[in-house]
Amino acid sequence: ATLTAAEALEQNVIEFIASDRAGLLELLNGYEVEIAGETRSLSTDNASVEVFEPDWRIRLLTVISNPEIVLLLGLIGLYGLMYEGWNPGAIVPGVVGAICLLLAAYALQVIPVNYAGLALIIVGVALMVAEAYAPSFGALGLGGITAFIFGAIIMFDSGVPGFGISYVFVAALGVAFAVVLIWLIGYLLRLRRRGAVSGRESIVGATAVAVEDFATTGKVWLEGEAWHARSAQPVSKDEELIVTRLDGLTLDVERAEPSDTTTRD
């Protein structure tokens, strides 16, 4: 379990708390320790301090152990692996996703986390992904964003100084997800209004062009393909026709605009 500094002092895990280096040296002065069975007193009055700077590995581990970085790594990892699953062979998203998830997993072993919050984040991401596959016009997505925000707050709410997460950062991620959700809902609504773009429904009412002159049957060009067509009226080459019915592989067509005719006695 992870203790705060005050809790560690109360439970005798540590001897004292110092606010800075000078305060630590002052507290250590005269402090007695046992070394090889002998009790010795520390003298830190005129002690010189030698600073050892962390190497690049320690600095890297310090960076990825930041709760905000952990959250970003986890999200990149999850979405990277999901993208690889949707597009097998993309390779790069899968590799990047796996690396990010492993780094996030390492960091989660170093910093104190609440796994209920982690579960909420995973549920939130799953709901947001489900919105794209089973459009609920915002219900799943909104639930996912809510679960994600609460999960991120709970996950790093340990009370340990230095291991909290910025609420502004979490709110910014929530807003970003909300923007994507709004765009997705708008896109789905546009698709719904546009109607069918393939199949029988998309053919009826479409505009075809006559490939040749014909009186009753002939060929027309529709959506990059040549079709057999029937018409109750004579048709001229390159004339625009409206598809009124699909009968197997034959189109029933009529003129898009009635041609001007002159009746003579």
Task: Please indicate, yes or no, if residue 46 is contained in any of the structural domains.
Answer: no
- What mean pLDDT do residues 146-156 have? 88
Reading the block at residue 65, the tokens are 């152990």
Task: Please indicate, yes or no, if residue 239 is contained in any of the structural domains.
Answer: yes
The tens digit of pLDDT for each residue in 59-114 reads 888 888 888 898 899 889 888 888 887 777 778 888 999 999 999 888 888 788 88
pLDDT at site 265: 43
Regarding whether 122 and 163 lie in a shared domain, the answer is yes
Regarding whether 98 and 67 lie in a shared domain, the answer is yes
Domain end marker among 111, 137, 153:
111
Task: Please indicate, yes or no, if residue 154 is contained in any of the structural domains.
Answer: yes
DSSP letter assigned to residue 260? P
- What mean pLDDT do residues 19-29 have? 86
- The CA distance from 233 to 216, in Å, is 7
Reading the block at residue 103, the tokens are 């780094």
Is the pLDDT confidence value at 264 over 50?
no
* 88 contacts 101 by C-beta, under 8 angstroms: no
For 213, phi then psi, to 5°, come to: -80, 135
Is the pLDDT confidence value at 135 over 70?
no
Is the pLDDT confidence value at 191 over 70?
no
The tens digit of pLDDT for each residue in 70-84 reads 889 988 988 888 888
pLDDT at site 159: 63
Regarding whether 191 and 136 lie in a shared domain, the answer is yes
Task: Please indicate, yes or no, if residue 71 is contained in any of the structural domains.
Answer: yes
Task: Please indicate, yes or no, if residue 260 is contained in any of the structural domains.
Answer: no
Task: Please indicate, yes or no, if residue 242 is contained in any of the structural domains.
Answer: yes
Is the pLDDT confidence value at 47 over 60?
yes
pLDDT at site 43: 85
Q: What is the average pLDDT value for the chain, to the nearest integer? A: 82
Number of domains into which the chain is organized: 4
Regarding whether 156 and 87 lie in a shared domain, the answer is no
Query: What range defines the domain where residue 139 resides?
Result: 113-195
* 156 contacts 117 by C-beta, under 8 angstroms: yes
Task: Please indicate, yes or no, if residue 261 is contained in any of the structural domains.
Answer: no
pTM: 0.54
Task: Write out the DSSP string of 65-130.
Answer: TSHHHHHHHHHHHHHHHHHHHHSTT--HHHHHHHHHHHHHHHHHHHS---HHHHHHHHHHHHHHHH
Task: Please indicate, yes or no, if residue 232 is contained in any of the structural domains.
Answer: yes
